[in-house]
Amino acid sequence: MRFLPGASDIEGGFIVACNHPSHLDPIMVSLLLRRKVHWMARIEFYGTWWSTALLNVMGAFPVDRQGFALGPMRKAISLIRKGRVVGICPEGEVRRDRLSVLRGGEAKRGACLVAQQTGCPIVPCVVLGTEALLWFRVYRMSKPCCLWMACGDPIYPPSTSSRREGRRIMAEKLEDAMRCLHQELRRDISDSWARKRRELMV
């Protein structure tokens, strides 16, 4: 795991905006950060008692992607104003294809709206490797799984005459930051495997 300028060191409330390669992303990011993260979670995940209990323990709150998101937005704003951290996946659902923000897809602007309403920053976060944790073979001792994560500089709401234009600017900055983090992590992964190969050859 690697951090760029630390999300854990920011005082007060803020938003963690993370890519979404698997359903394990919120759990892993919450474990790695030193702040409790209240994730905005799909209402479909509240379909069983055990998943509901897990989400409640994590401090998550439901959002209906097909309905009106006013309630979840108000909940996110309330949490941030209390100094809490809210987690949002701006891709909206699991994305590992060309629709992923990391590969040129667009970020949804709900996080930008919450940031505007509260004045809080959005911290871009990229996590790689969580999708491999869903494969049974990685639990074999001979095939360990690596998890890579980086957080970038906080993005603050810009001062603009149009709130819509402000959200557009924030979304573009968020997309650019996440893609830069992705490229840096890919270089780190490549360098790490190159070092391991050299060590094995010694």
- Per-residue pLDDT tens digits for 57-72: 889 999 887 766 788 9
Q: Which domain holds residue 100?
A: 7-201
- Check residue 14 and give its pLDDT: 95
3-state SS assignment for residue 88 = strand
Contacts of 192 (CB under 8 A, 6+ apart): 146
Instruction: Decide if 16 is inside a domain.
Output: yes
Query: Which residues in the chain land under pLDDT 50?
Result: 4-5, 136-138, 140-141
- Check residue 4 and give its pLDDT: 46
Instruction: Decide if 164 is inside a domain.
Output: yes
Instruction: Decide if 74 is inside a domain.
Output: yes
- Check residue 35 and give its pLDDT: 85
Instruction: Decide if 1 is inside a domain.
Output: no
- Check residue 94 and give its pLDDT: 85
Instruction: Decide if 64 is inside a domain.
Output: yes
Q: What is the DSSP string of 173-191?
A: HHHHHHHHHHHHHHHHHHH
Cα gap 19→96, rounded to integer Å:
9
- Check residue 171 and give its pLDDT: 96
- Check residue 70 and give its pLDDT: 85
- Check residue 7 and give its pLDDT: 62
Between the CA of residue 181 and those of 116, 136, 147, 186, what are the distances in Å?
Answer: 23, 28, 14, 9
Tokens standing for 23? 């359903």
Instruction: Decide if 135 is inside a domain.
Output: yes
Cα gap 61→63, rounded to integer Å:
7
Query: In total, how many domains does the chain have?
Result: 1
- Check residue 157 and give its pLDDT: 95
Instruction: Decide if 25 is inside a domain.
Output: yes
